[in-house]
Amino acid sequence: MRTSSFCCKNKLLLAALLLLAQQPIQSCFAVDRSKFRTCGQTSFCRRHRNGHSESLYRYKLDPTTLVFTDPGIVASDLAELEKNQGAEKDTPEGGEVEDKSNGLWNRISRVITGNSDGSKDENLGHENDPNVRGPKPILNGLLVNTASETSTGGVENLDLSIHLHKDGVARVRVKELYEGVSYDGGYTKRFDPRWTSDELILNSDEMIGTSSVTLSSGGGENSDDALVKSLVEKIDAAESSNVENFVVLSYDQQNDNNNDVGGKVYLLLQLDPFAFHMFRKENGGEIVGPIVSVGTQQLMHFEIRRPKHSDDPTEDEERRLEEEPPADTTKDNKHGDKEIVGYWEDGLAIYADGTREEKPVEDEEEMEHRKLLEAQSPDLDKEGMWEEKFGQFTDTKPHGPMSVGMDVIFGKSQHLFGLPEHASSLQLLTTHGDGSHYRDPYRLYNLDVFEYELDETMALYGEVPLVVSQSEEFGTAGVFWFNPTETFVDVEEVNGDKKELRTHWMSESGVIDIFLLPGSNPQNLYQQYAHLTGRVALPPMFSLGFHQCRWNYKDERDVYNVHGKFEEYDYPYDVLWLDIEHTDGKRYFTWDNKLFPNPVEMQDKLASQGRRMVTIVDPHIKRDNNYYIHKQATSEGLYIKDNTGKKDFDGWCWPGSSSYLDFTSERVRSWWANQFSYKKYKGSTPNLYTWNDMNEPSVFNGPEVSMQKDLLNLDGIEHREWHNLYGLLFQRATSEGLVQRNLPDQNDRPFVLSRSFFASSQKYGAIWTGDNESKWSHLAIAAPMLLSMNVAALSFVGADVGGFFGNTDAELMTRWMQAGAYQPFFRGHAHHDAKRREPWMFGEETLERLRKAAMARYALTPFWYTVFHEASVTGMPVMRAMWMQYPQISQLYSTDDQYLIGSDLLVKPVTAAGVTQSNVLFPTSDNWYDVDTMKQMSSSPSDAAKVTSLSVKSGIDKIPVYQRGGSIIPRKLRLRRSTRMMTHDPYTLYIALDKKLCASGSLYMDDEHTFDHERQGIHATANFDMKVDYDDDGSISFIRNVVEFGLGLTSEGSSIVESVDTS
């Protein structure tokens, strides 16, 4: 995000900017709330939140329609597809997983996560819905809307399907019936099925078959009254006599080798009113639950599409296409006679006379209307159903209201996590009901929010619709709401004395597609989630080092000077970044020949000293017929269209007038990937990697600084249906390009940083928290934000060190560098109006502190790499909330100012000025050792205490970091200037003994940059175990360090220890 640099559309814009630069600059670093909608200003959210569901939507499951079938392949050629995709299998020993379906190399070889273009793969779809791909459901049925009055005035039945996964996951999917939609007793012509995404990894061999499932009902032919009654009593003892109203699907949890793992899952379906509950049983123990209950509050809401002006949707669509396109909103009367020559990132116009548009001041009538909306008056429920205006923009809604919603209760849980990205606490706080912390739901809608505020539920750059519950009694459970449309989620305390938490999911469109993850602990849950969305890609080693960025290093001389200073001061770094100014007029894949005349020589110079470079490549394309990218994209029809489907969409971003590529199309993604070839991207080398920014997508003159929802992709699908996927698909296409550019001779792993994200972004690269500020409060919120992203399995994440906006002082920079060294993605960045803040800019004393922090990071790169490998195998996050490692300690559930790296390092960043002491919570089940002094921390005086709080020293030279007793952590201690220079350095093992004087750990190794660990199995894992015995006199001899030399790699992946020095 940037604020004051803009490529001109013409000389008028340049002149306007020069005039504007002479005016006083006033910046308050506060978001313009008038540009972003609340739930009260969003018609579908109002309808859901105001209890609209209770009167118009009341469903029952018709038991006579239930069909119990064996899951199989929807089409014969899907088997071949899955064969080429590969599958995730455990080794016979139950150890490492050979990651085939998640390996980017294997995906490039054939196809990415299935058929990505449903319109061209109708043979893979159900007869009535070509958008449904993958395995068949094990159970189908009909949901009947029994409400006395429906939203359409006619029959509104829905299709229910249930998939059961071997790992215990249950998928419940609800969609429209497409053979016809009833209105007033008659039937309209068939609508096209609702578009759905296929960004999940769903293979038939991961499904449970009928032979492994017991279908039980109460009082029927297949009755098991005892089982049904026992489960019903757990949800409502009063219903236990009504067992005929329930059906149970029970099944054993299995691993990837089809072996039972001792767990059992029960899915209890309530017929009327429709609801369902998940229970869990572990290793012959008692049945616990319901761990998740869905629909019990009767908030299920499914708006049937119907025509806008007529009884015939086909005629209505034809009428819409014949209408003239909307008037140019940039010529609104509010601008008077002033000529608009550009837009700022906040969406305000730049005028030819050098002035800029002022932030709008609402008139009293508009303000009163907004208050009514935010008060959620039921009288306003129908406003905005067929057309909705926000600011100067009108959403035409050609299909009318299409929203879906559902309530989900997490049994006996007071602690929910997830739903990134929000600048708020790790724990989800209440948004509804008496005494709620927030008044607006968590919003999930990827947006370029200029100067975002803290402690808010406002949407930010990315989203993952996953909620994880943690409780002492029921353990870990999760719900994944697979819907990429705009979504709001309320959190409310319900059920009186039980004090359980309810989430209320409200999405603008799509279908109800909900995955219940049974857990029962964090390790199991993240394996389950990884089976759905994939595991984090193992990053190349260099990307775990320090990245130096600024908007902008202005020319080659500047680059060489910065690089030379790092060399001069022996300060380690791995990557130097270039922002938008390196291009020729914001034309991506080009270089400004005056500022960067020799880009290859520049990259080669840095590479010769172990460094790489990154350039920014955004999704908006400058509309210039002399620009080869735009010319080819136009001729091949690769751009998103306006709402008529006839013209390329034209919006404003950094280059001025821009069009946006349709990354929902596999054809466009393939074309984009090809642009990274060295022949096409002139001046690029194998040492150049990529930064994807502005990919929410950001449109300066669009509604909420994004695209209109009624724009169309190349298949004619509205933008509202796939908005939250855009950034993910853009990053995915870029990652593919960085792999393909080296084929067939090389198979280097890619590195791509993205600002926007969705579920499964972990497979394609790194994510950062966007444009933060140089304030202590933004340093403090970084850990909760990053932990929330890790809850959603996004492990390769970081916050800009030093803050993007504003100026930082020496103390804040020191504390931020210390904290950043213990975040997965470690990058310093700054706005071009900020003072230069390279490490040597703060004086010699501060330089030494910053170097010390960076050296600590580099020493731990073997540990970071090993933890990332673990994440790529198990799905467990890299940066872990305390409860992930200690799920039985409720005192840690709300903790988000300290965290763990893997299972072995506890980090407590210092996030306030003048701090000399910090309070750290230590789980007493483990010993803890200060990594600097190697001294053991005091234990709790009581064996019964699960946590002890200690005040520890944390002066300016100290960040509190502790190694867990019982762990062995590998380090490399020789000071080098980059990770490449450290490749052949020896390892030092840091051994921290547990209460039994034992320790264990591992070290993962490969060539650190290619896919050979996947393709050829060239990698090694060294496992270490240590036990210390008492001498006869009761004394203990401690090992000071262990230095390992000559650990070789073989094609079988074994390790060879040639010598060990245990001096």
Show the 3-state SS of 591-622: CCCCCCCCHHHHHHHHHCCCCEEEEECCCEEE
Task: Give residue 328's pLDDT.
Answer: 46
Residue 800 is which amino acid? D
Q: Dig out the tokens for 884 from the structure.
A: 């992930």
Position 21 pLDDT exceeds 90: no
CB 502 within 8 A of CB 407: yes
CA distances from 290 to 139, 276, 523, 919 (A): 21, 9, 20, 37
Measured CA to CA, the distance from residue 1037 to residue 464 in angstroms comes to: 50
For all residues of the chain together, what is the average pLDDT? 85
Which one from 492, 581, 693, 904 is the annotated catalytic residue?
A: 693
Q: What is the mean pLDDT of residues 444-458?
A: 95
In this prediction, residue 865 has a pLDDT band, given cuts at 50, 70 and 90, of very high
In this prediction, residue 193 has a pLDDT band, given cuts at 50, 70 and 90, of confident
What is the per-residue DSSP string for 229-240?
A: HHHHHHH-GGGT
Position 92 pLDDT exceeds 60: no
pLDDT in tens, 809-850: 999 999 999 999 999 999 999 999 999 999 999 999 999 999
CA distances from 159 to 164, 188, 554, 923 (A): 17, 18, 58, 48
Q: Is 693 a catalytic residue?
A: yes
CA distances from 646 to 112, 641, 650, 651 (A): 29, 7, 12, 16
Task: Give residue 320's pLDDT.
Answer: 45
Q: Taking the domains of the chain in order of start, what are their residue ranges? A: 411-533
pLDDT in tens, 61-72: 999 999 998 775
Task: Give residue 124's pLDDT.
Answer: 27
- Pairing state of beta strands 1042-1045 and 1020-1027? unpaired
In this prediction, residue 1003 has a pLDDT band, given cuts at 50, 70 and 90, of very high
Q: Is 696 a catalytic residue?
A: yes
Task: Give residue 1051's pLDDT.
Answer: 36
pLDDT in tens, 28-74: 456 788 899 999 999 999 999 987 767 889 999 999 999 998 775 33
Task: Give residue 150's pLDDT.
Answer: 87
CB 632 within 8 A of CB 667: no
Q: Is 1006 a catalytic residue?
A: no
Least-confidence region, from 245-249, 345-349, 481-485, 674-678: 345-349
Termini Cα distance of the chain: 53
Q: What is the mean pLDDT of residues 103-116?
A: 34
Coil, helix or strand at residue 211: helix
Position 118 pLDDT exceeds 50: no
CB 270 within 8 A of CB 245: yes
Q: Dig out the tokens for 876 from the structure.
A: 């467990």
CB 140 within 8 A of CB 157: no
Measured CA to CA, the distance from residue 586 to residue 628 in angstroms comes to: 13
Least-confidence region, from 69-73, 497-501, 728-732, 822-826: 69-73
What is the per-residue DSSP string for 700-748?
A: TTSGGGS--TT-B-TTS-BHHHHGGGHHHHHHHHHHHHHHHTTTTT--B
Closest CA to 393 of 441, 339, 326, 477: 326
Task: Give residue 306's pLDDT.
Answer: 78
Q: Dig out the tokens for 872 from the structure.
A: 């790529």
Which one from 448, 556, 696, 838 is the annotated catalytic residue?
A: 696
Place of tokens 């701090």: 915
CB 1044 within 8 A of CB 989: yes
Measured CA to CA, the distance from residue 280 to residue 262 in angstroms comes to: 11
Which one from 718, 771, 773, 1008 is the annotated catalytic residue?
A: 771
In this prediction, residue 206 has a pLDDT band, given cuts at 50, 70 and 90, of confident
Least-confidence region, from 631-645, 970-984, 1048-1062: 1048-1062
Greater model confidence, 358 or 400: 400
CB 147 within 8 A of CB 58: yes
Q: What is the mean pLDDT of residues 941-970?
A: 91
- Summary count for the chain: helices (H), strands (E): 21, 52
Measured CA to CA, the distance from residue 162 to residue 136 in angstroms comes to: 9
Q: What is the mean pLDDT of residues 506-525?
A: 97
Q: What percent of the chain is modeled with pLDDT above 70? A: 80
Other CB atoms within 10 A of residue 847 CB: 18
Q: What is the mean pLDDT of residues 134-155?
A: 89
Superfamily of domain 411-533: glycosyl hydrolase (family 31) (2.60.40.1760)
CB 419 within 8 A of CB 478: no
Q: What percent of the chain is modeled with pLDDT above 90? A: 69
Q: What is the mean pLDDT of residues 363-382?
A: 57
Task: Give residue 914's pLDDT.
Answer: 98
In this prediction, residue 1044 has a pLDDT band, given cuts at 50, 70 and 90, of very low
CB 500 within 8 A of CB 297: no
In this prediction, residue 203 has a pLDDT band, given cuts at 50, 70 and 90, of confident
CA distances from 197 to 113, 338, 708 (A): 11, 44, 20
